[in-house]
């Protein structure tokens, strides 16, 4: 399954980067929200354009809701060109965010799973339109380094492990859209080959099993450490090693 697909030439709208940057500049002084998962990154922030309940007042506004039931946030009224872009996607919309990475920011390796999965095999995708970027951004997905140009529309398979580093001296800002794949959006993608259709079917069958296995492992680890900390076994281990419990 392809890691990235450039959809620009198949999409009916051309993205006007100067207009996007002009409206982005109007957000100067706005409250950019930190990501709700603090373990992922520091300095990775967002302004929600579409959220699960139309709110944009806390990082929780970025949580996943029901695809197609999301609402636009108040800031869209001040961003007419971004509103035009949203209108150009007449498909079920999930989270839509302007996402900013400051210089030196690192998004740690992770993959998007379960409700947050971004993989066309599951009928939901995450598309990126770069607004501001630089040549020193390191964006690696599934072991492959990706390069994106401002004003182009990209699909990326984020069910693969990915990480990002902004090693440059300027901000990296993308418009990021979580969308449901309906008849409209399916036409924006190149028609899949027979092999690709088979691959997607295998992914739909196998990835949820992998997520479940990982979830069970993580729960078992958490239970072990809750039981182990302060236990007689821990005290015995420290005595045998000649140390003291932390």
Q: For the whole model, what pTM was predicted?
A: 0.85
What confidence category does residue 218 fall into, taking pLDDT thresholds of 50, 70 and 90?
low
- In 3D, which of 58, 114, 65 has the Cα closest to residue 94? 65
130 token code pair: 């770069």
Q: What is the residue-averaged pLDDT of the chain?
A: 91
**pLDDT given at position 221:** 75
- Predicted local distance difference test score (pLDDT) of residue 123: 94
pLDDT of amino acid 234: 75
Q: Are 127 and 99 in contact (CB under 8 A)?
A: no
Bridge partners of 45, per DSSP, are 34, 100
The tokens describing 239, both together, are 């005595």
Residue 243 has pLDDT above 70, yes or no: no
Q: For the chain, what's the residue count? A: 246
Query: Taking residues 39-63, what's their average pLDDT?
Result: 92
pLDDT in tens, 76-133: 999 999 999 999 999 999 999 999 999 999 999 999 888 889 999 999 999 999 999 9
DSSP state at residue 48 = E
Spatial contact of 140 and 85, defined as CB atoms under 8 Å apart: no
Q: How many whole angstroms separate alpha carbon 173 and alpha carbon 150?
A: 9
pLDDT for 174 beyond 60: yes
User: Is 80 exceeded by the pLDDT of residue 245?
Assistant: no
């Amino acid at each position: 399954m392809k890691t990235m697909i450039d959809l620009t030439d198949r999409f009916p709208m051309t993205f006007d980067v100067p207009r996007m940057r002009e409206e982005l500049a109007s957000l100067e002084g706005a409250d950019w929200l930190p990501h709700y998962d603090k373990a992922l990154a520091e300095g990775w922030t967002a302004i929600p354009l579409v959220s699960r309940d139309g709110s944009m007042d806390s990082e929780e506004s970025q949580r996943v809701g029901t695809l197609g039931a999301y609402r636009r946030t108040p800031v869209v009224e001040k961003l007419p060109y971004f509103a035009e872009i949203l209108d150009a996607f007449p498909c079920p919309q999930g989270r839509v965010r302007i996402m900013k990475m400051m210089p030196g920011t690192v998004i740690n390796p992770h993959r998007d799973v379960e409700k947050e999965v971004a993989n066309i095999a599951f009928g939901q995708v995450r598309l990126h339109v770069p607004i501001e970027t630089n040549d020193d951004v390191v964006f690696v997905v599934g072991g492959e380094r990706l390069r994106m140009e401002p004003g182009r529309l990209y699909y990326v398979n984020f069910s693969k492990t990915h990480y990002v580093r902004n090693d440059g001296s300027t901000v990296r800002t993308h418009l990021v859209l979580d969308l449901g794949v309906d008849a409209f959006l399916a036409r924006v993608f190149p028609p899949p080959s027979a092999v690709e259709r088979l691959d997607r079917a295998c992914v739909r069958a196998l990835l949820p099993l992998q997520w479940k296995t990982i979830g069970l492992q993580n729960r078992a680890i958490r239970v072990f450490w809750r039981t182990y900390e302060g236990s007689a076994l821990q005290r015995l281990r420290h005595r045998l090693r000649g140390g003291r419990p932390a």
